[in-house]
Structure 1
Amino acid sequence: MTTSPPGTTPWPRTLGLALGLVTLVSALVLAFLWPSVTADPRNLPVAVAGPVEQVAQVEAGLAQSTPGVLDVTAVADRAGAVALVEARDVYGAIVLGPAPEILTASAASPVVAQLLGEQASALQAQVDAAAAALGAPAGSAPTVVVTDLVPLSPDDARGTTLAAATFPLVLGGLVGGVAIALVVRGTGHRLAGLGAYAVVGGLVIAAILHLLGGLHGSFLADSAAVALTLLGISGTIVGAAALLGRPGISVGPVVFLLFANPISAAAMPVEMLLSPWGAVGQWFPPGASATLLRSLSYFPGADTTFSWLVLAGWAALGIGLVLAGSVRGGARRAPEAGAATSTEAPAVGTLAAAR
């Protein structure tokens, strides 16, 4: 059996480290590529406005031409469709009647906006056929108009800045959590460090994203969303370290980087991820913050209660874990202190007798 020269790392340990690193990198590649490779339009909610008979015909046509892609909600008129789009309940709408129109919202998803825009030619063909059946002259049928109700900002015309903001937020939470867990001692000091990091980080990062054109909502609301994201991630790491020691630090990269970030749906609709992972991702800080920041910027009428509750829940969890770690640490130190006192007592008695 070949032995390693003195002062060198043993061969089994060297090869084991190499295999472990390959496993880690493979997991990273799989985690980040799997969602995009398997992404596909599925059950995207859209509205169709118009008479019941025409809505049924369009729905049947969509089911035949794009099976399983669109989930149709029937509404009475254009106003109802606009309300659903602006509340972010649907990605867009098809308006039937004398003024046919396709409503999109590129701020919600450029991919779905393009998909709906492609339906304009099919809808135009139906309008022309209906006009011809009524004996109208050729070319007299109304033209289908495509309207982007909620466009992306000119400062972020492709939405790349907003979509890319999630990953730095996750890294920021990881870095802050690991640093505080390793450097700061004392429960009060750790909680103060987490609070200061979240508040200042929320203000600074929100300011940067506003300057770069990625965010367009209320600055204070955006800052609060970023702060809760940082606190939820970093607090969970510090709390896990307080309970488990240094091995608890690994909870952060595993939960937030490898698992939650790839299914956050920051750059694509939730429905495009394999079910149920898109919905699951919204229960974690990366997905909740991505959805919340987009709604705050472009959809002020959307219901953001769920996202706020998720972020607040993770922040509370982190603080609770830190406090629980403090209680457990105090309980662990009490027997050690008692044992030290009991061993010191005989020594003191022996010293007194010697005197």
Structure 2
Amino acid sequence: MAGRHRRPQNLPVGVVGDDAQVTQVEATVSEKADGAVVLTRYDSRDDAVTAIEQRESYGAIVLGPSSTPEVLTASAANPTVAQMLDELGQGMQAAIDEQIRAAVESQIAAAQQEAAARVQSLVEAVRSGQVPQIPESGPSAPVQIPAVTVTVTDIVPFAASDPRGAGLGVALFPLVLGGLAVGIVSTLVVRGSAVRRVTTVVVASVGAGLVLAGILQAAFGALQGSFWLNAAACAATIAAIAATVTGFAGLLGPAGVGVGAVFTMLIANPLSAAAVPVEFLLQPWGAIGQWLPPGAAATLLRSLSYFPDAATAQQWIVLLVWAAGGLALTLVDLPARRLRAGQSVAEHPLTV
């Protein structure tokens, strides 16, 4: 099935460091990640943070000669990817600890060899009848044990009202159901001209958007940021889904309601990537899902809530185009045109 998950591919992650460090990280990621991560090099930590805040990267690995290693994550982008990066940080810490242990053991071995050489020289002097030259005692060089700790920093965490992101993860479901309900009611209950159905979709979408945004943001804390922007996104989502249903009905009659509902629930919704990164879906289905109303809505709501610097033009355009296109097809109203042309219901059984 198109929406079935597989191993992630090409998750964008940043890396900061000199040429040697970046080359080493690239080799390690290529060996262990098996295509799950694609690295993008940034000049500084600030550049990597900006990329994360603009949703161009899920996180970053920051290295440098004058700073301790750091792994940047964004749990609000996706907790699963943030956990992957946190595990990467633990792996880096383990590798560093192993290098430190090897270096300390090397220093101890060198000190032991030096002491053994001194003792041997004393023994040989005694055996040859010479007066052994006992070296002046002095403070021995301490074994150097460097302390290097990999820091993991969550750049964009979830809000305290939704610490695990559970509310945001399920926020799309009531919007999809609301859009389907508006579309079905507008088609099967509202009688009269297609203009009345279009008006019903627009008015009901605006009202439902305000109500659902209020519930999701004020009552459950699932949405963050501007209430009015979130309400507009909810209204646009409901309108796009409802217009899909009424648009199919404008072409097919009552059968269009079922086509619109099946398309939304069984095709568009599974491809929305509301709970998983787009990169977790089979390609090109993950990319296609972002051009359907549920996928655009899921990305838009997450960006409005936690990534205000991210570009959202594509998501707004997708929702508005689906809404406008669906309403235009609603106005076409082929069933009514056939009846006005004198064609009987018997000739078109699905026409009302």
Query: What TM-score do the two structures reach when normalised by structure 1?
Result: 0.80
2:152 to 143, 146, 153: 146
Residues paired across the two proteins, number? 302
Task: Give the distance between the partners of 2:282 and 2:321, measured in 1 at CA.
Answer: 25
| 1:35-184 equivalences in 2 (<5 Å) | 35=4, 38-97=5-64, 98-128=67-97, 132=103, 138-184=144-190
The Cα shift of 1:121 comes to 2.6
Change beyond 3 A, Cα 1:147–1:137: farther
**SS of the residue aligned with 1:118?**
helix
2:217 to 202, 210, 222: 210
Query: Given that residues 202 and 223 in structure 1 are in contact (C-alpha distance below 8 angstroms), is that contact kept between their aligned partners in structure 2?
Result: yes
Query: Given that residues 195 and 331 in structure 2 are in contact (C-alpha distance below 8 angstroms), is that contact kept between their aligned partners in structure 1?
Result: no
Equivalent position of 1:299 in the other structure: 307
Superposed CA deviations along residues 296-339 of structure 1, whole A, max 9, x for unmatched, are 000001011111111011111111111111xx4564344329xx
Change beyond 3 A, Cα 1:138–1:273: farther
Query: Given that residues 51 and 76 in structure 1 are in contact (C-alpha distance below 8 angstroms), is that contact kept between their aligned partners in structure 2?
Result: no
The two structures, once aligned, show a CA RMSD in angstroms of 2.1
The Cα shift of 1:128 comes to 4.8
User: Moved runs in structure 1, 4+ residues, more than 6 A?
Assistant: 133-136
Task: Give the distance between the partners of 2:43 and 2:99, measured in 1 at CA.
Answer: 20
**SS of the residue aligned with 1:73?**
strand
Task: Give the distance between the partners of 1:137 and 1:55, measured in 2 at CA.
Answer: 30
Equivalent position of 1:26 in the other structure: none
Query: What TM-score do the two structures reach when normalised by structure 2?
Result: 0.81
Return the letter of the residue paired with 1:196.
V
Task: Give the distance between the partners of 2:11 and 2:84, measured in 1 at CA.
Answer: 10
Q: Any unmatched runs of 5+ in structure 2?
A: 108-141, 344-352
Return the letter of the residue paired with 2:209.
G
Superposed CA deviations along residues 194-246 of structure 1, whole A, max 9, x for unmatched, are 11111001111001010201000211111111111111111121122122111
**SS of the residue aligned with 1:72?**
strand
1:275 aligns with 2:244: no
Equivalent position of 1:350 in the other structure: none
Task: Give the distance between the partners of 1:209 and 1:304, measured in 2 at CA.
Answer: 20
**SS of the residue aligned with 2:223?**
coil
The Cα shift of 1:54 comes to 0.6
Query: Given that residues 47 and 74 in structure 1 are in contact (C-alpha distance below 8 angstroms), is that contact kept between their aligned partners in structure 2?
Result: yes
Task: Give the distance between the partners of 1:161 and 1:272, measured in 2 at CA.
Answer: 20
Task: Give the distance between the partners of 1:249 and 1:268, measured in 2 at CA.
Answer: 29
Query: Given that residues 183 and 243 in structure 2 are in contact (C-alpha distance below 8 angstroms), is that contact kept between their aligned partners in structure 1?
Result: yes
1:245 aligns with 2:212: no
Return the letter of the residue paired with 2:55.
R
Task: Give the distance between the partners of 2:290 and 2:183, measured in 1 at CA.
Answer: 21
Equivalent position of 2:233 in the other structure: 225
**SS of the residue aligned with 2:238?**
helix
Query: Given that residues 16 and 48 in structure 2 are in contact (C-alpha distance below 8 angstroms), is that contact kept between their aligned partners in structure 1?
Result: yes
Query: Given that residues 250 and 329 in structure 2 are in contact (C-alpha distance below 8 angstroms), is that contact kept between their aligned partners in structure 1?
Result: yes
Q: As a proportion of its length, which structure holds more helix?
A: 1
Task: Give the distance between the partners of 1:236 and 1:161, measured in 2 at CA.
Answer: 26
Return the letter of the residue paired with 1:43.
N
Task: Give the distance between the partners of 2:9 and 2:257, measured in 1 at CA.
Answer: 37
Identity %: 49
Return the letter of the residue paired with 2:77.
A
The Cα shift of 1:83 comes to 0.8
Return the letter of the residue paired with 1:293.
L
Query: Given that residues 127 and 141 in structure 1 are in contact (C-alpha distance below 8 angstroms), is that contact kept between their aligned partners in structure 2?
Result: no
Task: Give the distance between the partners of 2:337 and 2:174, measured in 1 at CA.
Answer: 37
1:188 aligns with 2:195: yes
Query: Given that residues 235 and 318 in structure 1 are in contact (C-alpha distance below 8 angstroms), is that contact kept between their aligned partners in structure 2?
Result: yes
Whichever of the two has the greater Rg, that structure is 2
Task: Give the distance between the partners of 2:164 and 2:272, measured in 1 at CA.
Answer: 19
